């Protein structure tokens, strides 16, 4: 068997095993993530204490207070938006000016008014006002329907599934065909697999989206899509902030977390990324100064 065949087989086994686990391991995943956060807090506190001792800080009370403060900063709790609390696909209707959206092919395109509607658990239609704009690079120029980013006001979305979402991506269809819809579903599953491997990844929620034109009232299409967690919220959940500076090298990154990210990209056969170049990747810096990558965009 050739080396390429071995690699292909390993990738298939890796993906199949993790996809199988993803169907039944959500409770275990939550426990694992909680344990991971607890371990991270202890490690961060230990690091700060060691640094304080090296600097000759002998006041025990001050040392304890400093350690506690740093740990709280690093693991500041972030309440996961309600949208990501369930894995059940959600049927929604996105209403916006489709003609205007199709014209916006520039990276600086403005936000436009939009609404997203869904039926809640008691059968009531809930309509959430929001704004939407085009995004992306290749897909922005080449897709029949460009990719979108939505912006949801906390005040306007209070007590809805879309509260506290920030500015997440809506990963929508590129072309209105069954093949392109399958690409969306495949990418969605890769995000779920990545979440099983590490909490340093984006939560996603699958949607069945009906695209309605606000100008004509006509329905453009009904296709699967998904919302991906706002990068700033991912960073906050991991106790850090987004680092926008390019040029990071492998030695600059936290070894355990970057190893998972690199291995995942290898096992799914994805070469379209650069952690140092911030291409299809984000870097998060924690309060302790650790830097680690978060991969995204697996299309």
> In the listed set 75, 105, 127, which residue is the last one of a domain according to the structure?
75
Do 88 and 181 belong together in one domain?
A: yes
> In the listed set 46, 75, 104, which residue is the last one of a domain according to the structure?
75
Do 140 and 15 belong together in one domain?
A: no
What does the block give as tokens for 269? 């056969």
Q: pTM for the complete prediction?
A: 0.76
* Secondary structure string (H, E, C) spanning the chain: CCHHHHHHHHHHHHHHHHHHHHCCCHHHHHHHHHHHHHHHHHHHHHHHHHHHHHCCCCCHHHHHHHHHHHHHHHCCCCCCCHHHHCCCCEEEEEEECHHHHHHCCCCCCCCEEEEEEEECCCCCEEEEEEEEEECCCHHHHHCCCCCEEEECCCCCCCCCCCCCCCCCEEECCCCCCHHHHHHHHHHHHHHHHHHHHCCCCCCEEEEEEEEEECCCCCEEEEEEEEEECCHHHHHHHCCEEEECCCCCCHHHCCHHHHHHHHHHHHHCCCCCCECCCCECEEEEEECCCCEEEEECCCC
Model pLDDT, residue 26: 41
Question: Do 132 and 114 contact (CB within 8 A), yes or no?
Answer: yes
Do 70 and 104 belong together in one domain?
A: no
Within a 10 A sphere around the Cβ of 189, how many other Cβ atoms?
Answer: 17
Do 91 and 194 belong together in one domain?
A: yes
Give the chain's residues under pLDDT 50. 1, 3, 6-7, 10, 13, 17, 21-22, 24-38, 41, 56-75
Give the position of tokens 């936000």: 111
221: left (phi over 0), alpha (psi -120 to 50) or beta: beta
> In the listed set 44, 60, 75, which residue is the last one of a domain according to the structure?
75
Do 206 and 262 belong together in one domain?
A: no
Model pLDDT, residue 15: 56
Do 172 and 269 belong together in one domain?
A: no
Do 172 and 186 belong together in one domain?
A: yes
According to DSSP, the residues that pair with 92 across neighbouring strands are 209
According to DSSP, the residues that pair with 224 across neighbouring strands are 208
Do 13 and 115 belong together in one domain?
A: no
Q: Which domain holds residue 253?
A: 238-299
C-alpha span between 58 and 53 (Å, rounded): 7
Do 115 and 178 belong together in one domain?
A: yes
Do 62 and 143 belong together in one domain?
A: no
The C-alpha angle with vertex 134 and arms to 132 and 137, in degrees rounded to 5, equals 155
Model pLDDT, residue 153: 92
Q: What digits encode the pLDDT tens for the residues 24-47?
A: 444 434 433 444 444 554 555 555
C-alpha span between 280 and 10 (Å, rounded): 24
Could you give the number of structural domains in the chain? 3
Do 86 and 219 belong together in one domain?
A: yes
Question: Do 119 and 140 contact (CB within 8 A), yes or no?
Answer: no
Do 219 and 257 belong together in one domain?
A: no
């Amino acid at each position: 068997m050739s080396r390429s065949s071995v690699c292909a087989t390993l990738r298939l086994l890796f993906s199949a095993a993790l996809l199988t686990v993803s169907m039944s391991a959500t409770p275990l995943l939550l426990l694992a993530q909680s344990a991971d956060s607890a371990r991270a807090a202890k490690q961060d506190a230990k690091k700060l204490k060691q640094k304080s001792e090296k600097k000759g800080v002998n006041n025990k009370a001050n040392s304890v207070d400093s350690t506690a403060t740093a740990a709280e900063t690093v693991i500041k709790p972030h309440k996961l938006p309600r949208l990501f609390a369930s894995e059940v696909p959600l049927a929604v209707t996105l209403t916006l000016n489709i003609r205007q959206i199709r014209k916006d092919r520039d990276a600086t395109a403005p936000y436009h008014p939009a609404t997203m509607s869904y039926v809640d658990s008691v059968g009531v239609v809930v309509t959430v006002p929001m704004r939407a704009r085009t995004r992306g690079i290749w897909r922005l120029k080449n897709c029949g329907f460009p990719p979108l980013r939505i912006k949801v006001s906390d005040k306007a979305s209070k007590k809805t599934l879309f509260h506290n979402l920030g500015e997440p991506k809506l990963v929508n269809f590129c072309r209105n065909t069954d093949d392109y819809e399958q690409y969306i579903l495949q990418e969605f599953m890769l995000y779920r697999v990545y979440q099983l491997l590490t909490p340093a990844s984006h939560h996603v929620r699958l949607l069945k989206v009906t695209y309605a034109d606000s100008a004509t009232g006509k329905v453009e299409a009904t296709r699967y899509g998904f919302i991906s967690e706002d990068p700033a919220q991912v960073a906050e959940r991991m106790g850090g902030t987004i680092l926008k500076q390019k040029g990071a090298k492998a030695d600059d990154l936290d070894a355990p977390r970057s190893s998972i990210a690199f291995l995942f990209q290898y096992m799914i056969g994805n070469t379209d990324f650069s952690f140092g170049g911030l291409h299809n990747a984000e870097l998060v810096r924690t309060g302790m100064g650790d830097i680690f990558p978060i991969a995204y965009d697996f299309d």
